[in-house]
Amino acid sequence: MMNFEVYISLLMGTGLISVWACFLLFKKTGYLKQNGLLFFWFVSRFLSDLICFSIDRGLGLTVYPVFHISIFIEFELMIFFYLLYINGRWFYKILLLSIPLIVLIFDCFFIASIFQDPVLAAVIYYLMISIFFIHLILNNDLIEKSYLNLLSAFMTYHVLLFFYSIFINQISSSDFLMATVYPLSLICIVGINLYIFYFQWSLTKN
């Protein structure tokens, strides 16, 4: 089974270079809102991995509260990103933006606990953002042509983690699945991180 240090190092390493590339693109485009949201999304993911590693290895405490907060922040940022391209009534936008908070409250206080794995929150987050990105890609007149490949990578990332979250209990209870699916999922996520990094870095050179 893959060592935890290797897992977190790969995630943090590829996440950090994505943060760097996204910041360069954010700066080059005159601090465009879309790129700013993606930058803060990558920062949130990187800080989440860093804090989880520090808490788990340094203090030996549960990292699930960090997972809950991380999913909430990432969820909100991705909805903000989606709404930049959608013309809708203010009520519709407020309703969408309130979903992550509602999910966080229900998952922490009614469905499970803040000290338990936020499986429900993760499934809802990955499912909704996958649908939003698919909608943007299918209606590609809504977005800049240069963003299609980037949005496809983000869509693939969220779809992959949606299915992983659905079957997380079955995967974690099987030594065979943990030894196969877990590393394969990591390779896919690292590959997507590297692709996003390369794509954003290449845009800064154009």
CB 96 within 8 A of CB 77: no
Q: How many domains is the chain built from?
A: 1
Rounded Cα gap, residues 65 and 56, in angstroms: 12
Long-range (24+ apart) CB contacts under 8 A made by 37-40 are 37/77, 37/78, 37/80, 37/81, 37/84, 38/81, 38/200, 40/77
- What is the sign, positive or negative, of the torsion defined by CA atoms of 66, 68, 70, 72? negative
Tens place of pLDDT per residue across the chain (206 aa): 456 677 777 878 888 888 888 888 888 877 678 888 888 999 999 899 889 888 887 787 888 999 999 999 999 999 999 998 887 788 889 999 999 999 999 999 888 888 888 989 999 999 999 999 999 988 877 677 777 888 888 899 999 999 989 988 887 787 787 778 777 888 888 888 888 888 877 777 76
Rounded Cα gap, residues 187 and 164, in angstroms: 13
Structure tokens at 152: 């496809």
pTM as predicted? 0.90
Q: Which domain holds residue 159?
A: 4-205
